[in-house]
Chain A
């Protein structure tokens, strides 16, 4: 066997040709070239720029538009790319994650936010979004779901009226949104948000509404960017909604249906986070492989020591398993869309994949750093950034514990909520 027989990025010769459409493969190839040419040389400077308010990431997002990523999930008849395959999106995410996961998250969040409108075939929203999405300028989007105050997990999805403090109230012909969302991606640069809110008067799943907000709109104000330990290019931040008025048609679908759509969008978000993390993990492994090939310890290159070889083997096998895991979950998502309310759908499956992939990536970047000693810790090598990005990806979208509870819901009925005095007090305080 020759060295290099195992290609670390093996989709070309591996699973991808059998599972992806030829046009999707083309896009994967062009994204890979873009990552090599435009992102890898600049990622350090891009991240540093987030501390000084530079618009580096915005520039790169604009340069990415010709790749066709933006709006790629919008149906073709609306002018979009017509990609409906979660597997394609996940493979794209892995490629981007290998370069800069934070940029990948920034670029792909819009497709997640768009998903409910596409699935619901909401003409009004798609007509409003199609021109900028398919235009020549960058038009990122984001799903605005999580709230720091109150509960933030989908594990209580039957309790949307209680767990979301962002409220939607019927006002005239349309809706009025009030509340606050935290850790929203692309918070200050997004062209559109899909906002989860509890609808006045609704109970349980009927209370969940998904609303499209297209800034600038009166009452919507960015409420500060979060100073995150990683994933800085994703611009996680907070949003404040003060009596934001929306047309009636900007609700994704309607009572009951919105909750199903949200679960599906969230499943896609978790899947993409999983794939981005796998990409970051591979990026880390590649760095460690190069470093340990050159650097000597006790008379030979580090990777010629058996302990190092064993660690590299562990890392490579867990990352390969992680890739297989997200790919299988994506295929599951592509073939089992949630259609009916009350059915356990794709979220548990996507949550399993996210848990596994993020853990693999966090472990991989940690172990690879350990092989590099202090060199793993400085910005001269990309690994410390991959390490930080992977960790934040693990914490996003339900984190590790919310996602665990979502995962277990695919196995048995797990109920966390038991009304009690403390809860009543919390409700009183909130009122």
Chain B
């Protein structure tokens, strides 16, 4: 057996089954790994400080990523991209960022997510009009605008068939006219284009769901304020409003029924990458805790040589590896519908959510343990673990959080319909 620590690089490469990843994607992922080690980790504390000021350092890192080709990678080759559309590759990239500063990549990663419906649907008008903007040397940010003041889970809830979506789009001639408001979407306030989840007609159920692209600035669009978050600060969220915003009719991603599929596809995709992001964060916290336990002397021995600490480190390593295996498998299945069945199904929703819930709970556990292993140093910003701990929590909370997630898990096993119209509902709805 090789001595411990002699083959760190090898351990890093063998954290997952890399033969599942296309060779080109593999190269990209290893570029990102180097980037995180070289350009992100050394300045991650300053990155967070920058979020209390003008975000200039965050933007600098993002511009470096743009110049590496990150921003255009998701586009089809005919539009200048690298066709990096596999969920597994996307997940592995976010896993790498998780180790460094998870949120600094959100402006770009969130963009790829927002444009994904247009890419999958092959919407030529949207791609013709906007793809080239992602291929330049400047930041061009996109936002997937879903959650509304009356509740995010109502939009994601498949059993509500769009009834929870109150942002209305109506067709007037060749234009969509959009009215409504959104809260929380990643990249709100800093985006150049929004993919807006709308409802054309609540009585039509899933057929009424529409994904419509809105470039800004545009008349009738206004932004509220940025949220002040406990972590994940390099990513920005806020609330914004549509008041008679008009866009060409072709800016709808696909059409009735298809848009609902695209929405659910994107939500399943998000469950997968959320899981990977959390795994990366847990990995980052583990790396710091391990380094600390190697150097810190307690009772005459390095902390890591005490059986208690060794057990904790083992628990963390087990958790992280199982989490990574879980998302790698699920993402691979998602990427191969020819073998594993359609991407939008209760089974795939359930499978991806199992991964998200497990990985997020796991990362909460691991980051908490890492802090506890380090004692007061664990709460100290100079050791980075407290930041990873804060950053991680939002991943568990977003997309409806773990509790809603569990309802999607059981949907893979039996029909769970939590919606029963009743008097209480009417009352609450009237108030909200």
A314 CB to nearest chain B CB (Å): 12
A380 CA to B300 CA, complexed, in Å: 46
Residue numbers in A under 8 Å from B394 (CB-CB): 374, 377
Cβ-based interface call for B125 (8 A)? no
Give A51's nearest chain B residue, CB to CB.
B52
Q: Which of B16-73 contact A (CB under 8 A)?
A: 52
Asked, given contacts A229-B381, A371-B403, whether A401 binds B372 with beta carbons under 8 Å apart, the answer is yes
Cβ-based interface call for B166 (8 A)? no
Verify A362–B397 contact, CB threshold 8 A.
no
Cβ-based interface call for A182 (8 A)? yes
Cβ-based interface call for A416 (8 A)? yes
Verify A399–B375 contact, CB threshold 8 A.
yes
Verify B300–A300 contact, CB threshold 8 A.
no
Residue numbers in B under 8 Å from A305 (CB-CB): 418
Q: Which of A304, A369, A423 is the one whose CB lies under 8 Å from B424?
A: A304
Q: Which of B201-244 contact A (CB under 8 A)?
A: 227-232, 237
In the complex, identify which listed stretch (A56-64, A91-99, A146-154, A321-329) lies at the interface while the others stay far away: A146-154
Beta-carbon contacts of B188-203 to A below 8 Å, as 1s and 0s?
0000000000000000
Q: Which of A379-431 contact B (CB under 8 A)?
A: 379-380, 384-385, 387-388, 391-392, 394-396, 398-402, 404-405, 416-420, 422-423, 426
A362 CA to B389 CA, complexed, in Å: 12
Cβ-based interface call for A169 (8 A)? no
Cβ-based interface call for B420 (8 A)? yes
Beta-carbon contacts of B286-309 to A below 8 Å, as 1s and 0s?
000000000001111110001011
Give B306's nearest chain A residue, CB to CB.
A416
Verify A296–B425 contact, CB threshold 8 A.
yes
Verify A296–B429 contact, CB threshold 8 A.
yes
Q: Which of B400, B406, B420, B422 is the one whose CB lies under 8 Å from A373?
A: B400
Residue numbers in A under 8 Å from B308 (CB-CB): 401, 404-405
Interface range for A: 35 or more
Verify B228–A366 contact, CB threshold 8 A.
no
Verify A297–B368 contact, CB threshold 8 A.
no
Q: Which of A181-201 contact B (CB under 8 A)?
A: 182-183
Verify B228–A298 contact, CB threshold 8 A.
no
Verify A228–B372 contact, CB threshold 8 A.
no
Cβ-based interface call for B263 (8 A)? no
Verify B393–A369 contact, CB threshold 8 A.
yes
Cβ-based interface call for B135 (8 A)? no
Cβ-based interface call for A127 (8 A)? no
Verify B301–A420 contact, CB threshold 8 A.
yes
A119 CA to B31 CA, complexed, in Å: 63
Verify A426–B420 contact, CB threshold 8 A.
no
A362 CB to nearest chain B CB (Å): 7
Cβ-based interface call for A67 (8 A)? no
A113 CB to nearest chain B CB (Å): 17
Verify B230–A377 contact, CB threshold 8 A.
yes
A73 CB to nearest chain B CB (Å): 25
Verify A374–B152 contact, CB threshold 8 A.
yes
Asked, given contacts A388-B390, A401-B308, whether A416 binds B381 with beta carbons under 8 Å apart, the answer is no
Residue numbers in A under 8 Å from B157 (CB-CB): 298
Verify B397–A374 contact, CB threshold 8 A.
yes
Q: Which of B348-364 contact A (CB under 8 A)?
A: 364
Residue numbers in B under 8 Å from A231 (CB-CB): 379
Beta-carbon contacts of A212-251 to B below 8 Å, as 1s and 0s?
0000000000000011111100001000000000000000
A: residues with CB less than 8 A from B are 51, 146, 148, 150-153, 155-156, 182-183, 226-231, 236, 295-301, 304-305, 307-308, 311, 362, 366, 369-374, 376-380, 384-385, 387-388, 391-392, 394-396, 398-402, 404-405, 416-420, 422-423, 426
| 4 interchain residue pairs of minimum CB distance | A423-B300, A229-B386, A299-B425, A399-B375
B: residues with CB less than 8 A from A are 52, 147, 150-154, 157, 159-160, 184, 227-232, 237, 297-302, 306, 308-309, 312, 364, 368, 371-382, 386-387, 389-390, 393-394, 396-398, 400-404, 406, 418-422, 424-425, 428-429, 432
